[in-house]
Amino acid sequence: MSAPITPPLTARANLRWAVVRPTLERLAPKDILELGCGQGAVGARLAQLASYTGVEPDEASWNVASSRVTPNGGTVLHGDHHKVPEGAEFDLVCAFEVLEHIADDRGNLADWVQFIRAGGKLMVSVPADQHRFGPSDELVGHYRRYSVEQLTSLLESVGCTDIAVRRYGWPVGYALEAVSNRVSAKKLAEPAAPVSDVIEERGATSGRFLQPKKVAGQALKLGMAPFTLIQELAPKRGIGLIAVATGPKG
């Protein structure tokens, strides 16, 4: 059997994965559905932990995700959640940095939670705090950012219970976001390569934004390692939110 594929993560994704991984180990799901899996950097990791199905609507990202996830024993479907077989249920349904790209976040979330089997869990991550909305949000097609209260209310509105929301990314996330905003502002202003005016089109390709290559990914992992530990000193501060909840089937 070939060695598992573990693709590089972005700096922010390293911070997020440091919170997600121990949570997954605690929940120990047998099967996982990831919605909007992008290029499969997280999906390849999830496929090493449980039976994995991902869905990704962007064709270019789906091709990359398939090449990374399939060797690890998982499956990636090309499309949105409507491609998931009718009646399929999972111990864990997750979506990382997806809800903010969707105009009707509640409507889609209401569909997603139907895939959670009785007693199963939902895990989502989103960018925090609307007052921090900046060029990087605009570039990748975000409709909004969320407060803890807004995300909690959204999950309650689709029938989720036992909701726990924490922040991640303190303190280095603020610096990363500032750099991303500067890079994004320049890209938005480039007349030679205009960015689409359609938010949905920006969001469709967001999974490709600032994805590191292998060598850069290793450097990022090493560089971010201390900060993945430091952020645990302040779980109520940071630039992103991670929520875990029990699905509406109880």
> Please, are residues 82 and 49 in contact by the beta-carbon 8 Å criterion?
no
What is d(CA 80, CA 57) in angstroms, rounded to the nearest whole number? 5
Report the interhelical angle of 105-112 vs 148-157 (nearest 10°): 50
DSSP class of residue 227 equals H
pLDDT band at 219 (very low <50, low <70, confident <90, very high): confident
Residues 6+ apart with CB under 8 A from 182: 135
Mean pLDDT of 195-205: 66
> How deeply is 213 buried, as exposed, middle or buried, from its count of CB atoms within 10 A (0-12, 13-18, 19+)?
exposed
Range name among 36-40, 99-103, 153-157, 210-214 with the lowest pLDDT average = 210-214
pLDDT of residue 202: 63
Q: In what order do the strands lie in the sheet with 75-78?
A: 75-78, 51-56, 31-35, 90-96, 116-127, 238-246, 161-169
3-state secondary structure of 101: helix
Average pLDDT over residues 82-100: 97
Query: Is the bond preceding residue 7 a cis peptide, omega within 30 degrees?
Result: no
Residue 38 confidence class, pLDDT cut points 50, 70, 90: very high
Cα 34 from Cα 12, distance rounded (Å): 18
Domains of the chain: 11-246 (3.40.50.150)
Report the DSSP pairing between strands 31-35 and 90-96: parallel
What are the CA-CA distances from residue 166 to residues 20, 40, 94, 152, 243 (Å)? 11, 24, 16, 11, 7
Residues 175-186: what's their mean pLDDT? 94
- What is the rounded average pLDDT for all residues in the chain? 92
Distance between CA atoms of 175 and 105, rounded to whole angstroms? 28
**Residue 53 CA neighbour count, 13 Å, CB half:** 18
List the Cα angle 61/24/2 in 5-degree steps.
55
CA distance 42 to 19: 13
Half-sphere exposure of 111 (CA within 13 A, CB side): 15
pTM: 0.93
